[in-house]
Structure 1
Amino acid sequence: MITLLILILITVVVLIAIAKFIPGGRKFSTYFILGCIALIMLIPFYMMFVMSTHTTNEIYSFPPAVWFGQSLGENFTNMAAAVNIPRAFLNSCIITISYTTLVLLFCSMGGYAFAVYDFPGRKKLFAILLATMMIPWTAGIIPWFIMMSRFGWINDFKALIIPGCANAFGIFWMRQYCQNNVPTSLMEAARIDGCSEWTIFFRVIAPVLLPAYASLGIMQFVNVWNDFMQPLMILRKDELQTLPLLLKTMVSDRGTDYGAMMLASTCAVLPLLIAFLSASKFFMSGLTAGAIKE
């Protein structure tokens, strides 16, 4: 531990010297630090991929394995025998895609209305909307469960999709983007051409909101895909379980096959990585939006 601290201290001193005395050294030092941070963030994912190819005994060995093993096929067989990954994957896809699609539709419509239309009580309604973001979700978990039970939505995907499809954060996000990036001249030109308000939104405004759609969609996709508490309370049948619930069932007091569990975790993480990499360009532009004003 002392050796590691000394090494870190020496590295910091060297980077400071490079940034101060060498032309372009500040840029090099900045990228080096950011690269180290990125590497540290990626290490848990790398180790999960590595452990998915090792048996439980190999995972517990010392020193730990840092390269891929030969037990991927065995872990896949054990995972398939223990849990129904395809069904859980399908359930997660149904819930996550349906929820994300509805969030993008309703939140963009709500944010657009708050940003563009001047209707009575707009500021007060928006203030109330923001106030709901201050309330922790756990404070309303009991009323939410009672409502879902009264609706008859226990063991029903609707309980995980419909209640949050017009959430406060999504409306706030889209409203801020619309205010800074939707020119009023586009709407005025469309109205002069005889377009209805629905046509203006879906044909003119929606393409402009693509970066906001990507960033909000990624955030909502990740949150719902990884959600554990709500599915745990609602989905009681084994055939309705999502991937997070399925991973929980693989933990046993009699012994856990961590190789198979790491492989199942890899299957659960890969869709998130693919979704983020596919929309990363729009995601970053959506996060940095706001510099362009009419």
Structure 2
Amino acid sequence: MKMLLFLIMAVALVLIIIAKVHPAGKKISLYIVLGLIALIMLLPFFMMFVMATHTTSEIFSFPPAMWFGGSLSENLANMNLLVDFPKSFLNSCIVTGLNTILVLLFCSVGGYAFAVYDFPGRKALFAVLLATMMVPWTAGIIPWFLMMSKLGWLNTFQALIIPSCANAFGIFWMRQYCQNNVPVSLTEAARIDGCSEWTIFFRVVAPILKPAYASLGIMQFVNVWNDFMQPLMILREPAKMTLPLMLKTMVGDRGTDYGALMLASTCAVLPLLIAFLCASKFFMSGLTAGAVKE
């Protein structure tokens, strides 16, 4: 602990000296600080990848292993013996993919309607929509479960896909983006040209919403992919388990193969990282849209 405090104080002293001496010292110090923060945030992912290549005894050894080992194939074989990872991975892809697509469709249509159309009760309805965001999801767990039971959706993927396909946050997000980035003159010109309302939305408005789609899609993808509570309450058969439930079954009362568990966790995290990297450009522009007024 003393060594760590000494190192932090030394780095802070060096940054102060750089900021005072060099003309561009403040910018250099800022980049160094941001780089250190980025390394600290990436360290847990790196350690998870490293542990996926070590056995359980090597993981709990001291000092801990800080580089990749040679037990990847062994952990892979143990993981396949413990769980059916490909099946759980496919289940998560089905649930997450369908739910994300439906959320993007229904929330963009709802947000566009609130932003563009002036219909009776629009403000009151939007206020009720925002009020639902103030209620924690856990307060509705029992009514939601009873509703899924009455519909006969227990142990089915419908219960994980359909109820959340038009959520309040998504509609609010798309409504704000439409208000700031969809010109009224553009939709009016399309109407003058004879386009129907659906044609205007899908061929004129939807291309403008790409950054908002990317931002909302990533957030929804991460939330559904990592969801544990809803699948735990709904799914009963091991063949229908999603990845979070599958990872939970790998933790045993009589011992846990942490090498195999880390490998499965790594495989579960990789799709999230890939999806974010693919949509990062649109994701950042979607988050900052409307932040600067011209």
TM-score class, shorter-chain normalisation, is over 0.9
Residues 1:120 and 2:109 aligned together: no
Shift in Å at residue 221 of structure 1?
Answer: 0.1
Q: Residue in 2 aligned with 1:5?
A: 5
DSSP-derived class of the 1:279 partner: helix
Q: How many residues align?
A: 294
Q: Distance in 2 between matches of 1:79 and 1:199?
A: 49
Shift in Å at residue 10 of structure 1?
Answer: 2.2
Q: Residue in 2 aligned with 1:223?
A: 223
Judged with a 3 Å threshold, the aligned counterparts in structure 2 of structure 1 residues 281 and 234 are, in CA distance, closer, same or farther, namely: same
Q: Residue in 1 aligned with 2:286?
A: 286
Judged with a 3 Å threshold, the aligned counterparts in structure 2 of structure 1 residues 293 and 188 are, in CA distance, closer, same or farther, namely: farther
Residues 1:96 and 2:96 aligned together: yes
Are the counterparts in 2 of residues 52 and 259 from structure 1 also a CA contact under 8 Å? yes
Are the counterparts in 2 of residues 181 and 293 from structure 1 also a CA contact under 8 Å? no
Are the counterparts in 2 of residues 132 and 168 from structure 1 also a CA contact under 8 Å? yes
Residues 1:145 and 2:145 aligned together: yes
Q: Distance in 1 between matches of 2:189 and 2:291?
A: 23
Q: Residue in 1 aligned with 2:81?
A: 81
- What is the aligned-residue RMSD (CA, Å)? 1.0
Once the two structures are superposed, what CA deviation does each residue of 1:25-83 show, in whole Å capped at 9, x if it has no partner?
A: 11111111111111011011001100000000000110000100010000000000110
Q: Residue in 2 aligned with 1:166?
A: 166
Once the two structures are superposed, what CA deviation does each residue of 1:118-158 show, in whole Å capped at 9, x if it has no partner?
A: 11111111111111001000000010000000100000100
Q: Distance in 2 between matches of 1:11 and 1:292?
A: 35
Are the counterparts in 2 of residues 181 and 292 from structure 1 also a CA contact under 8 Å? no
Q: Distance in 2 between matches of 1:15 and 1:235?
A: 53
Judged with a 3 Å threshold, the aligned counterparts in structure 2 of structure 1 residues 238 and 69 are, in CA distance, closer, same or farther, namely: same
Shift in Å at residue 17 of structure 1?
Answer: 2.7
Q: Distance in 2 between matches of 1:170 and 1:128?
A: 15
Q: Residue in 2 aligned with 1:68?
A: 68
Shift in Å at residue 9 of structure 1?
Answer: 1.6
Q: Residue in 2 aligned with 1:39?
A: 39
Q: Distance in 2 between matches of 1:86 and 1:47?
A: 24
Q: Residue in 1 aligned with 2:106?
A: 106
Q: Distance in 1 between matches of 2:292 and 2:147?
A: 43
Q: Residue in 2 aligned with 1:276?
A: 276
Residues 1:185 and 2:152 aligned together: no
Q: Residue in 1 aligned with 2:239?
A: 239
Residues 1:252 and 2:252 aligned together: yes
AA partner of residue 159 (structure 2): A
Q: Residue in 1 aligned with 2:132?
A: 132
Runs of at least 4 residues off by over 2 Å: 291-294
TM-score normalised by L of structure 1: 0.98
Shift in Å at residue 12 of structure 1?
Answer: 1.4
Shift in Å at residue 14 of structure 1?
Answer: 2.2
AA partner of residue 121 (structure 2): G
Shift in Å at residue 13 of structure 1?
Answer: 2.5
Q: Residue in 1 aligned with 2:30?
A: 30
TM-score normalised by L of structure 2: 0.98
Q: Residue in 2 aligned with 1:264?
A: 264
DSSP-derived class of the 2:54 partner: coil
Q: Distance in 1 between matches of 2:141 and 2:218?
A: 24
Q: Distance in 1 between matches of 2:160 and 2:124?
A: 29
Q: Distance in 2 between matches of 1:129 and 1:203?
A: 27
Shift in Å at residue 291 of structure 1?
Answer: 4.6
AA partner of residue 254 (structure 1): R
AA partner of residue 105 (structure 1): L
Shift in Å at residue 6 of structure 1?
Answer: 1.9
DSSP-derived class of the 1:236 partner: coil
Identity of counterpart residues, as a percentage?
78
Runs of 5+ unmatched residues, structure 1: none
Runs of 5+ unmatched residues, structure 2: none
Q: Distance in 1 between matches of 2:7 and 2:277?
A: 34
Shift in Å at residue 191 of structure 1?
Answer: 0.6
AA partner of residue 102 (structure 2): L
